[in-house]
């Protein structure tokens, strides 16, 4: 079966707050602070949705982390960082496949309680409309029709819930030129020695963090607002993923 990559999206909801035209630079900084506060609230919402029981991960071949372990990992996050889910992996089993499409269709049909297996509805909101509907199902159907998804996209969606049963990494939803963006591993055995983060596209360079528990993405001073830095994350036995980091304008100092 032919493999293909699941393309990452070019932008995220909170990045839109930073990119408004006609905004004064001071107001712009205020908006950025507001966005970061919204972000903290959204992470709190994610914590509330942490599922107590989730299916085993076929790729990782291990039991899912406990609720306490996930809470501890989220509580230890640096301000402004958010956990990422796998776009399209509605049941959080580590794969994007026909099972996810069936769950996405069930979510889109709505009317009643969502299927219990759909632990990450946010992963089904492909068009970031904050609703999971028929258009999202059509998009996933098109993606699956083209072949197996070998490199799924990691994403963050603050307005639709996700249990984050199998979260892997946390990072920022956007960055400004010249910013050092942490990419932090959320599982105990993930380190910079076993997992690699590289720049696939965009004006940035990557280095391992000093503590070895993640990487730092140094966005170039000359990176253009509106552009995107695309990262390739090789997470050892957990697979490869892509993540797109939108570059937004620099706020005043």
CB of 65 to Ca ion, least distance (A): 17
- Residue 167 vs 215, nearer CB to Ca ion: 167
Helix (H, G, I), strand (E, B) or coil at 227: coil
Rounded CA separation 128/117 (Å):
21
Segment contacting Ca ion by CB under 5 A, of 63-71, 96-104, 124-132, 210-218: 96-104
Rounded CA separation 72/186 (Å):
10
Rounded CA separation 171/181 (Å):
7
Number of residues that bind Ca ion (CB under 5 A): 5
> Is residue 100 a contact residue for Ca ion (CB under 5 A)?
yes
CB of 120 to Ca ion, least distance (A): 9
Q: Write out the DSSP string of 65-102.
A: PPHHHHHHHHHTPPTT-EE-EETT-TT-SS--SHHHHH
Among 15, 60, 64, 89, binds Ca ion (CB under 5 A): 89
Rounded CA separation 157/125 (Å):
8
Segment contacting Ca ion by CB under 5 A, of 5-13, 93-101, 176-184, 223-231: 93-101
Among 8, 91, 163, 171, binds Ca ion (CB under 5 A): 91
With a CB cutoff of 8 Å and minimum separation 6, the contacts of 45 are: 158, 161
- Residue 154 vs 247, nearer CB to Ca ion: 154
CB of 125 to Ca ion, least distance (A): 15
Q: What residues are paired with 218 via a beta bridge?
A: 180, 205
- Residue 90 vs 183, nearer CB to Ca ion: 90
> Is residue 238 a contact residue for Ca ion (CB under 5 A)?
no
Structure tokens of 227?
């552009």
Neighbours of 36 (CB within 10 A): 15
- Residue 8 vs 91, nearer CB to Ca ion: 91
Closest CA to 168 of 80, 250, 243, 246: 243
CB of 93 to Ca ion, least distance (A): 4
Element spanning 182, H or E:
strand 180-185
Interface mask (CB under 5 A) for Ca ion, residues 39-78, using x and -?
Answer: ----------------------------------------
- Residue 100 vs 174, nearer CB to Ca ion: 100
> Is residue 93 a contact residue for Ca ion (CB under 5 A)?
yes
Binding site for Ca ion (CB under 5 A): 89, 91, 93, 95, 100
């Amino acid at each position: 079966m032919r493999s293909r990559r699941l393309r990452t999206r070019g932008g995220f909801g909170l990045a839109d707050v930073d990119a408004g035209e006609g905004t004064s630079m001071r107001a712009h900084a205020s908006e950025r602070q507001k966005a970061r506060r919204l972000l903290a609230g959204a992470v709190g919402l994610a914590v509330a949705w942490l599922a107590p029981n989730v299916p085993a991960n076929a790729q990782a071949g291990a039991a899912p982390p406990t609720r306490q372990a996930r809470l501890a990992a989220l509580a230890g996050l640096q301000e402004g960082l958010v956990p990422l889910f796998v776009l399209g992996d509605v049941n959080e089993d580590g794969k994007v496949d026909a099972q996810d499409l069936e769950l996405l269709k069930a979510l889109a049909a709505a009317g009643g309680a969502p299927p219990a297996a759909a632990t990450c509805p946010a992963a089904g909101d492909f068009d970031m409309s904050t609703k999971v509907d028929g258009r999202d199902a059509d998009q996933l159907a098109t993606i699956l029709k083209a072949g197996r998804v070998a490199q799924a996209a990691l994403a963050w969606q603050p307005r639709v819930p996700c249990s984050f049963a199998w979260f892997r990494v946390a990072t920022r939803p956007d960055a400004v030129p010249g910013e050092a963006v942490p990419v932090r591993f959320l599982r105990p055995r993930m380190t910079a020695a076993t997992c690699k983060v590289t720049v696939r596209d965009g004006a940035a360079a990557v280095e391992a963090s000093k503590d070895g528990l993640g990487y730092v993405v140094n966005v170039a001073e000359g990176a253009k607002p509106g552009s995107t830095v695309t990262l390739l994350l090789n997470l050892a036995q957990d697979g490869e993923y892509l993540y797109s980091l939108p570059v937004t304008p620099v706020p005043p100092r």
